[in-house]
């Protein structure tokens, strides 16, 4: 763009000094003609880098989800293909469900047995309740008869013994019922866990995306190891667009500012964006959690740039941004708006250059 401005300036110099000869072409005019563009371009660029900062490092980034199976088993089916669009809920792979189905059936059988045990205990308690009531009445009757001398002491003791036996049986049935209820709770949890494991034999896509490098094949034993995913799923629903700037370029940048980017994979295409937020943190600002004192050796580390997240405007959201796509862009702050036009011209001229591929092989 600087070349274009210089060409325009040179054209006017030619008109004034050579075509119409309105001014003499001498040492003074030559010095002035050379000095003016240098000072003017320097002033424009310096102020424009503050009020409309540009970045030569704009990146499209996506969430990468490591796919770890919920259960360990032998893979029986991998219906997807590498680097093909996948919808949320599509099957990524299946694990042999036979041992997990057997575990579910075993848990269901255990639960049924405990439920029958609970029913029997409840039925026994229900049958003992009227017998206990009757035994209590007999104890009362024999107690009254024994007190008046009309009944035998042995009959009272037998009635009391029968009541004690019935109450003991009731307590045993109640204990069995309580134990069965506790075991049923545990058995239901085991059944849910078994069904959860069985459901984990079919792994579904967590979102819309694709698997770039698919090495999983039927016959492989997939293990439930967090540090050993079987594949990496690239999510494509919510890509991040990050532009990287030096710290002093962001003094006027605020959320909501207009931004424009152009990616090398789309020559000539301007993608409208807005500033979402500034990530005011870098690795250099992290204090290591350690018992050692910070290293203060005189080693100058390079300045780490600050990332600015950009949100693509609705009209351009249908455009596909590959994970890792690179480009350039600019942010237009609320200051120096008369310089925004020059920056926008710079951006549009620069994006045309992406049509050219400068290599000889």
pLDDT digits (tens, 9 = 90+) for 281-290: 877 777 767 7
Q: What is the CATH number of domain 64-96+201-235?
A: 2.40.50.100
- Which of 130-134, 148-152, 344-348 has maximum average pLDDT? 344-348
Q: Rounded to two decimals, what is the model's pTM? A: 0.70
List the Cα angle 316/320/321 in 5-degree steps: 100
Distance CA(22)–CA(29), nearest Å, equals: 12
Per-residue pLDDT band for 161 (boundaries 50, 70, 90) equals confident
List the Cα angle 310/312/314 in 5-degree steps: 150
The predicted-structure confidence for 93-131, as pLDDT tens digits, reads as follows 999 999 999 999 999 999 889 888 888 888 888 888 888
Distance CA(52)–CA(100), nearest Å, equals: 61
- Please identify, in words, the CATH class of the domain defined by 98-199: mainly alpha
Per-residue pLDDT band for 338 (boundaries 50, 70, 90) equals confident
pLDDT value of position 354: 84
pLDDT value of position 178: 85
Nearest-10 Cα torsion for 132, 137, 142, 145: 180
CA atoms within 13 A on the CB side of 251: 8
Q: What is the CATH number of domain 52-62+239-283+304-356?
A: 2.40.30.170
Could you tell me the residue ranges of all domains in the chain? 1-51, 52-62+239-283+304-356, 64-96+201-235, 98-199
């Amino acid at each position: 763009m600087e070349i274009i401005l210089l060409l325009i300036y040179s054209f006017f110099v030619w008109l004034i000094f050579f075509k119409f000869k309105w001014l003499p072409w001498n040492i003074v005019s030559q010095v002035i003609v050379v000095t003016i563009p240098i000072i003017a371009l320097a002033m424009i660029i310096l102020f424009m880098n503050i009020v409309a900062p540009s970045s030569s490092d704009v990146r499209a980034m996506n969430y990468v989800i490591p796919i770890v199976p919920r259960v360990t088993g032998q893979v029986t089916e991998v219906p997807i293909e590498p680097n093909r669009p996948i919808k949320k809920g599509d099957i990524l792979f299946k694990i042999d469900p036979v041992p997990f189905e057997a575990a579910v059936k075993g848990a269901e059988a255990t639960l049924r047995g405990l439920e029958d045990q609970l029913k029997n205990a409840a039925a026994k308690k229900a049958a003992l309740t009227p017998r206990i009531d009757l035994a209590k009445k007999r104890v009362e009757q024999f107690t009254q008869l024994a007190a008046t001398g009309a009944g035998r002491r042995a009959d009272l003791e037998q009635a009391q013994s029968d009541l004690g036996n019935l109450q003991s049986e009731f307590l045993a049935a109640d204990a069995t019922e309580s134990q069965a209820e506790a075991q049923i709770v545990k058995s239901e949890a085991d059944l849910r866990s078994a069904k959860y494991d069985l459901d984990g034999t079919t792994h579904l896509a967590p979102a819309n995306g694709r698997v770039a490098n698919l090495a999983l094949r039927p016959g492989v034993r997939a293990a439930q190891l967090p540090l050993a995913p079987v594949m990496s799923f690239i999510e494509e629903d919510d890509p991040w667009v990050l532009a990287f700037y030096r710290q002093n370029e962001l003094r006027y940048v605020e959320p909501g500012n207009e931004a424009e980017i152009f990616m090398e994979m789309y020559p000539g295409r301007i993608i409208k964006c807005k500033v979402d937020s500034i990530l005011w943190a870098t690795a250099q600002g992290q204090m290591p959690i350690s018992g050692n004192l910070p290293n203060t050796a005189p080693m100058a580390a390079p300045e780490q740039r600050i990332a600015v997240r950009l949100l693509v405007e609705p009209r351009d959201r249908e455009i596909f941004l590959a994970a890792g796509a690179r480009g350039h862009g600019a942010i237009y702050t609320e200051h120096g708006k008369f310089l925004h036009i020059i920056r926008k011209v710079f951006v549009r001229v620069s994006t045309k250059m992406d049509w050219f591929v400068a290599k000889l092989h």
